[in-house]
Amino acid sequence: MPVSILRATLAASLLGAAPAAAAEPWALAGELAVSPYSGAPGETQRPFRALALGGHGAYRWGDWGAGLGVEGNLFQQLDLDGETDFLFQLLVGAEGEVLMANGRMRSRLGAGLAVLLEGTELDDEGATAGFYVDIRPAGFRWPFDGWVLGFDPVTLLVAIPEPSGIPLVDVQYRAHVYAEVTL
């Protein structure tokens, strides 16, 4: 797609629509995230490397917001034999955000606790805990009557749910779709 068409589409979506209604201070959201490919060098590309469902709550002061999020994240990881293992991690953390373009765009940064609910071949059996960082540089928001539909097209999640021994580092390039209600 030529850059001029992309710019025109972005300008039309942000400027052509009516401004977003004034944001209520409290918001709750549910979201679906997918990681369409593996970011590990040398790994075979696999469709839908990760799938996540999450919920978020935020309080907003004008265009700035802070809140808490929880997410269940099922992801694929290669084991020592080159076979695919499916692992589940729970992410719980704090988030900060800023709304832009009359509430039609959003940037968000989150960080917190990453809990791997079962060990890998290299780890002890049972749950382990580490940390994560979730970076969402620019997402689009379409407000409706009392709710918002959102799309974050390119985000980065770096989770280290097993930081000891040989650390398990999970890097996911993701896309998110979410629905948010204001209270």
Cα Rg for the chain, rounded, in angstroms? 18
Are 116 and 163 within 8 A, CB to CB?
no
Point out the residues of the chain with pLDDT beneath 70: 1-23, 38-47, 78-80, 82, 119-125
pLDDT value, residue 106: 97
How many structural domains comprise the chain?
A: 1
What phi and psi, each to the nearest 5 degrees, are found at residue 164? -95, 170
| Beta strands 128-143; 64-78: pairing state | unpaired
CATH number at residue 32: 2.40.160.20
Torsion over CA: 88, 93, 98, 99 (sign): positive
pLDDT value, residue 152: 97
Domain of residue 101: give its range: 3-182
